[in-house]
Amino acid sequence: MWNSKDIYYISDSTGIMITNLGQALICQFPEINFHEECFPYIRTVEEARKTLDYILEKSRGRRPIIFSTIMDNEVRDVFRASEVEFFDAFDYFLEPLEECLEAKALRVPGFSRHFDDVHMARRVEAIHYTLDHDDGTRPEEFDEAEVILLGVSRAGKTPVSVYLATHMGIKVANFPLTTEYLNSSRLPEGVRRNIEKAVGLTTTPEILKNMREKRYPGSDYASLTTCRTELSLAEVIFRQHNIPVVSTAGKSIEEMATQVTQEMGLARKVS
């Protein structure tokens, strides 16, 4: 078994897709250390050869792994060298799909990222709305939100909101459950009026304490007792209003955002 391996992501577009795919695969081998580099916008044979020369020199005969989404056959064939392990996404997916659909693919680099004007405008609008309604700003305008995230301070509301807007084109408002609302077990009118859009975010007291300590070390705000109390009171509000809850503990922003969309029935939304 290899103790370490060099991984290279090669693309004629941004490289985002092949990097995500490759990382999803290699994370299944936690006992191996991986050195990763990405080479986007490789569109000519000359660029491909220069890149391959760099890879071979850097890896020094250790048979590096190349993940590729290059469309042009001539450019792609440069990387089919005997000194590397070459994995091409389109070899495995696109060509069989062409046979299945009895049609030829466009084979245009990065075509999935060429948004039309409608989709782009929708995403920009979602981003503007989400930033304008962060941290409880203008709750009287929450009617326009598609999702309203609730939670105590530092529970993850803002990063999840921004991710949903930028990656999924979803208009998100978020509202902090401060002491005023926790002690009275109530919600502002703008949230109550749109309670079917609300999702609660929670975490563990220990994680919340660590998050708060980074901003206000040694404060009562960051104490374990305060964190336990606030999370418990937030759960009371969530139960009273039948608000679905997503735990952010130990999860990436992508995982949190996906769970939120599932709770709201937005998992299939295309923006």
Q: Where are the domains of the chain?
A: 4-113, 117-264
CA separation for the pair 160, 246 (Å, rounded): 11
Q: How far apart are CA 240 and CA 177, in angstroms?
A: 14
Judge whether residue 48 has pLDDT over 90: yes
Inform me whether the pLDDT recorded for 91 exceeds 90.
no
- pTM of whole model > 0.85? no
Average pLDDT over residues 144-154: 97
Examine the pLDDT at 271 and tell me if it is beyond 60: no
Question: Into which CATH architecture does domain 4-113 fall?
Answer: 3-Layer(aba) Sandwich (3.40)
Of the given ranges (146-160, 185-199, 250-264), which has the lowest mean pLDDT?
Answer: 250-264
The CATH number given to 117-264 is 3.40.50
Return the structure tokens found at 66: 């190349």
Question: What pLDDT is attached to residue 16?
Answer: 82
pLDDT at 92: 80
The CB-side HSE value for 134 (13 A sphere, CA atoms) comes to 17
Nearest partner of 152 among 84, 58, 62, 233, judged by Cα: 233
Q: Is the predicted pLDDT of residue 269 greater than 60, yes or no? A: no
| Same fold flag, 4-113 and 117-264 | yes
- Looking at the predicted structure, is the pLDDT value of residue 89 above 60? yes
Percent of the chain at pLDDT exceeding 70: 94
Residue 94 has phi, psi (to 5 degrees) of: -70, -45
Q: Which residue has the tokens 């009275």?
A: 184
Confidence check: pLDDT of 121 > 60:
yes
Average pLDDT taken over every residue of the chain: 91
